[in-house]
Amino acid sequence: MTPEQTGTTPAVSTEQHIEMTERYAAHNYHPLPVVLASGEGAWVTDVDGKRYLDCLAGYSALNFGHSHPQLVERARQQVGTLTLTSRAFFNDQLGPFAQALAELTGKDMVLPMNSGAEAVETAIKVSRRWGYEVKGVPEDQANIIVMEGNFHGRTTTIISFSDDKVAHDNYGPYTPGFRAVRYGDIDSLRAAIDDFTVAVLFEPIQGEGGVVVPPEGFLRELRAVCTEENVLMVADEIQSGLARTGTTFACDLEDVVPDMYVLGKALGGGLYPVSAVAANTDVLGVITPGSHGSTFGGNPLAAAIGHEVCRLLATGEYQERARRLGARLLAGLEPLVGHGLDAVRVRGLWAGLDVTPGGPTGRELCERLMERGILAKDTHGMTIRLAPPLVITEDEVDMLVAAVRESLTA
């Protein structure tokens, strides 16, 4: 009997899936040749039944792993109850989520959106409006300081201040109002600030750049400068936040509190796009009805999942796991410097590895890791990033380190 007669779906091979995707989907990504079909915890399985340790975790969106039972159950309950209402009305999930996230961040209020890029756009809008209405910057004169090597998303405004040629080029004319300074250089940052500066937008750790860590003390100095100059300190913690670095936020590593947190990725638990900015009333209070919004921002399903994520983070379990297992990851990777790697940067369960020239490229190293059952992602040619779900075990960390060691010499 044919599959149609039996009511079954014919199997589609890896090659067919790749061919369909390449044929019908725009080529804005260059994936490794693996087609994933299911996931649980730190592991994913492809359409051929092969399992892989997921060491990218959706760029930190999957901090709690695939199909976390508590998150899945909460989402299942909400899907069957109420998924979307216009913000023209209240819903019974947004208030509890907003309170939980405000308490987690230590801020007065939050503004929920969907994607991380939308949260960054929101932070830019809030910063400019605060500059005009609170700081008293003349109309259309506000500027925002950003960092070289930044990655905040790919909307038109955001790529206007990106120095990544692939993300930036051929999308002009570009949005003005941004000044780029060297990442981690407090003197160049101080020199760039003037009376019209309203904010400094930065990543506490530059994830897309290869887990680039600023010099010790930079965040504390940045906080001091922003306070002194009456400039908003806006921390993009979309990748670095929510337990990834061993603390709830990467800013916590230097005991620094920014004026505004920009959050996303893990806030949706790997189930649903959820993002937000969090700030005190004197900053976020500049937003008024009709001045900013989103059809799906703050919808009941997103709020329910985000609230559950806040509950998970409130236990401290995931922060502790990232600290403990990150130390194990660092201890395993450091001896590889000089033996295939030029540098290793680790903060919590987040690592950037610079491959020694003459060895495999970043892409080639990821392909070798894939053959050994490890999924990772390259960036900027000779660097790869590792960001396994925080539910990874000690044995799985050791497996990852062994695979990197073997792949460097394969």
The catalytic residue positions are: 151, 236, 265
Question: Which residue has tokens 């603390």?
Answer: 247
| Beta carbons within 10 angstroms of residue 111's beta carbon | 23
3-state secondary structure 77-111: HHHCCCCCCCCCCCCCCHHHHHHHHHHHHCCCEEE
Q: CB under 8 Å to 35, separation ≥6 — which residues?
A: 14, 17, 18, 46, 47
Taking the C-alpha atoms of residue 204 and residue 120, their distance in angstroms, rounded to an integer, is 14
Question: Which residue has tokens 């050791």?
Answer: 398
Question: Which residue has tokens 């394969």?
Answer: 410
Longest dimension (CA), the chain: 77
- Residue 190's identity, in one-letter code, is R
Distance of CA 219 to the CA centre of its chain: 19
Taking the C-alpha atoms of residue 245 and residue 351, their distance in angstroms, rounded to an integer, is 10
**What's the CA dihedral at 54, 56, 61, 64 to 10 degrees?**
40
